[in-house]
Structure formats: structure tokens, C-alpha cells
Amino acid sequence: MNCLVTGGAGFIGSHLVEKLLKNGHSVSVIDNFSTGRKSNLSHLKSKIKLYKKNIAVKGNWEKIFKNIDFVFHLAALADIVPSIQEPKKYFEANVVGTYNVLACCRKYKIKKIIYSASSSCYGIPEKYPTDENAKIDPQYPYALTKRMAEELVMHWSKLYGLNAISLRFFNVYGTRSRTSGTYGAMFGVFLAQKLAKKPFTIVGDGKQTRDFTYVSDVVDAIYKASKSKIKDQIFNVGSGKTISVNKIVEILGGKKTYVPKRPGEPDCTFADMKKIKKILKWKPKIDINEGIKIILKEIDYWKDAPVWTPNKINFETRDWFKYIKSK
């Protein structure tokens, strides 16, 4: 099978590339390296075709889709604060980029496309665990643009017969998660703080819970979706369990400090897993304790990551508090 992974040099994408190669598939990767890293694929460069291209801008990269069977569309801009500050940039990357990918899929008659969506589309859920039919209520432009792109994917699938599946990821963590740039995912922040022997910056009281899903489980779900005969469906991808931020800090071990609770963030993320378990026969394998052990063994990956302090966080998130209001 000839596979194309957009965003294949990124966190989840690079793990997916490994999975596809391990299962005997030919792999091409498109990445503009805005967040992806060449080093994530350095051990695989002789086995893949790697293209530095920007999918948000139409160009000769479209020919890469010729003779491709399956497309795994992971390329996107993430993070909340930058999306508030530069919504146009996020719209172009996440929505226009997805439209361009779909146009190529249609033109070259791709057999299947798997889209990586985000559980952030649920906003602050009214029900836990949260199923795929829950109210869609994005709180910031990142969540909105990922949802808009998902709408495009599912519409193109039904209208043009593209054969698509969308997977809504919950709090993915693991090795190769992004280490540079803006204030972002909790594990990246905490691991850099642990290496620097600085206090963990806990948002609010730390009692909020999250459905953390290890990256290898997410990749298994993506691969299982690609091999299935199912189409035109949306699935949650989570662990189906929750753990508090305070408990994570307890497992990591170290001093802690607190920063203000942020509006627009749910007190809980918790995936209802019944649909994906029933239809795709998929369930996660790595629990949070095992996942943390794995990343601590490779903690040096975060040695160059920015070390966030309460003052830096307060400054970085100022627009968050300015534009997102508590309900």
C-alpha cells in the first residue's frame, strides 16, 4: 500500500510513519517543519520519501498524491494562544490546507483518507464520558479550525465518495511531543521543568482531570481505521479513563506551584469509547503509569524545551484571559 502522511515529521505523524513501514507499506511524507522535526524521521530517511511543502498553498506538491492509495492527514497548527493571536494563520493551515488535501484526494482517486481531529471541538462538555454526538462548542480558533476541517472531510466523503474516517484525539502524550515554541501541552511543560529542577506549574487547583492517551495507542487506532471497511464515521480516540493533574505531578515527583485557572478549559476530558470499541474493535493498551515510565526513560528529548515559570506563563496567556470569558 502506498501511503502519504501529511505532518509526518511531527509528534504523532512520525510514530505513524514507523508503524506503516513496520507493516510493509511504502511511505511518503509532506511536512513544512513549522512544528515537525527532521530529527523525528532521521532514522527512517532512507526508507521514506520526504517533501518539505506547505499544504496551505497550492503548488507542485499536489503531484505527490499520484499513485497514493491511503492519505493520513495529520498536518495542522496546534496550541491555543497562538490561534487566538493569529486566527488567519490557523484558518489557512488547518482549513485551507485540509481543503487542498481533499481536492488532491478527489483528483487522484485516493482509496481512503484518515483525518486527525481534536476532542477540543466539544469545548466544555455537558456530559461525561463524552460521546461523538455531544454538542460541538469550540472555545478558541484552534478548536474551531480543526472542527471546520473535519466538516470538510466528512462532507467530501459523503458527497464525492472519498471514503473518510475522522478520529477525535483526547490529550495525546508520549515521546517526540513538541519541545519548542509557545506554551502548550502539559507533559512537555512538566518534563522541561523536571529536567531544570523547577516547580511544576499547575493550572488552577490541579483537581481537573484529563483523558491522557499514549501516542502508540493513537497510532494503532489510526492504522486500524485505515484497514477497516468503515467509512463516513467519526470516532473518539482516548484511554477511556481520567486522572487528575495533581496525580500526574505526584507520579512525576517534584515541587509544585500554581497559576490561575483559565476560562474555556473543561474541568474534565473523558472519552466515551463505546463506538470505537464496538465498530473498529480497538482499545488502548498503555495505561498512564506505564506511559509516564516510557517518557521518563527518554526525558532528555525535552532538554532543549523552554522552561516555563509562572511569570512567563502569565505573560504568554494574557490574550487567553483577554478574549475567552468564563461561562
Provide the annotated active-site residues.
142
Distance CA(94)–CA(76), nearest Å, equals 5
Q: Which helix (H) or strand (E) holds 295?
A: helix 288-297
Rounded Cα gap, residues 107 and 100, in angstroms: 11
Question: How far is the C-alpha of 91 from the C-alpha of 149, rounded, in Å?
Answer: 9
Q: Could you give the CA distance from residue 266 to residue 129 in angstroms, rounded to a whole number?
A: 13
Reduce the DSSP state of residue 276 to 3 states and report it. Answer: helix
List C-alpha distances in Å: 239 to 82, 111, 190, 234: 28, 29, 21, 16
Tell me the helix, strand and coil percentages in the chain, rounded to 5: 45, 15, 40
Residues forming beta bridges with residue 235, ordered by sequence position: 167
Q: DSSP label at 260?
A: P
- Maximum Cα–Cα distance across the chain: 55
| DSSP per-residue string spanning 139-158 | -SHHHHHHHHHHHHHHHHHH
φ, ψ of residue 195 in degrees (nearest 5): -60, -35
| SS3 state at 137 | coil
Q: Is 274 left (phi over 0), alpha (psi -120 to 50) or beta?
A: alpha
Q: Which residue bears the cell 494503532?
A: 220
Q: Give which of 188, 152, 130, 144 is closest to 73, Cα–Cα.
A: 152
